[in-house]
Amino acid sequence: MHLAGRTAKWLNMPHQATVTDKRIVIHAEPGTDFWQNTYYNFARNTGHALTVEADEECSFSVRAVRDGSSLYDQCGILVYLDEKNWAKVCMEYENETGQKLGSVVTTGGYSDWATMDIPGDVNAMHYRVSKLKDSFLFEASRDGKEYRQMRIFHLRCKNAAVRIGVFACCPTGDGMKAEFEQAAFTPPAWKPYKGE
């Protein structure tokens, strides 16, 4: 099985999924989520993700389309070290008028969530993550051309293989379909900081 030409493996393989060179479809099962402890006082590591090892400096981009309208339905990019250390970028559905475009970074078993409000009828987004050593950049774009920075963050991945790929979750509903297209690994789109 491959993602963007690289050997991939599942984290919590769904009962139904289609993986081809050009398209990935994940049918997220009910009760699936990625979250650790903060505020909600529960730990979930049940979301579906297809990831590849990405130890080199690189960027990974993908167009994600969510076909679901239950509270917190989500799909996007996952950067994964282990159950206690990972990050995701996605839209989380709320209702017909509004939802959250945001990211979660989890370190040491505690998640944080940074968001911005977007209209409820948006169901597709381009996401990109760039990796420079142990630093990462999340970006999002409506058209896949003009990306906007969402978050810079750090994961301690010097002694562990980081995995990057796509994910889908359906925390509260009866199931949700996510489609991913245009997945690609490229040299880093994020350039090293050269100082002032």
Mean pLDDT for the stretch of residues 10-34? 97
pLDDT bucket at 194, cuts 50 / 70 / 90:
confident
d(CA 186, CA 141): 17
Q: What is the pLDDT of residue 159?
A: 65
Query: Model-level pTM?
Result: 0.96
Per DSSP, the residues of 76-110 read: EEEEEEETTEEEEEEEEE--SSEEEEEEEEEETTE
Query: Which has the closest alpha carbon to 36: 117, 131, 109, 113?
Result: 109
> What single-letter amino acid sits at 83?
E
pLDDT surpasses 70 at 59: yes
Looking at residue 47, its pLDDT comes to 98
Tell me: pLDDT of 196 over 90: no
Please state the rounded mean pLDDT for residues 16-27. Answer: 96
Calculate the alpha carbon distances from 74 to 70, 141, 162, 188 in Å.
9, 16, 22, 26
Average pLDDT, the chain: 95
What's the pLDDT at 129? Answer: 98
State how far the Cα of 128 lies from the Cα of 138, in Å rounded to an integer. Answer: 6
Q: In percent, how much of the chain has pLDDT > 90?
A: 91
Looking at residue 156, its pLDDT comes to: 82
Residues β-bridged to residue 24: 19, 180
Strand partners, 146: none
Q: Please report the pLDDT score of residue 190 as a whole number.
A: 95
Residue 154 has pLDDT above 80, yes or no: yes
> What mean pLDDT is predicted for residues 93-122?
96
Q: Rounded to 10 degrees, what is the CA torsion of 112, 72, 143, 53? A: 60
Give the pLDDT of residue 81: 95
Structural domain spans, the chain? 2-186
> What number is the average pLDDT over the span 10-30?
97
- Is pLDDT at 72 greater than 80 in this prediction? yes
Cα distance between residue 64 and residue 2, in whole Å: 17
- Report the sign of the C-alpha dihedral through residues 161, 167, 170, 171, in that order: positive
Query: Which of the listed CATH numbers 2.60.120.200, 3.10.350.10, 3.40.50.720, 3.30.43.10 matches domain 2-186?
Result: 2.60.120.200
Q: Which three-class secondary structure state does DSSP give residue 1?
A: coil
User: What are 8's two structure tokens?
Assistant: 């991939």
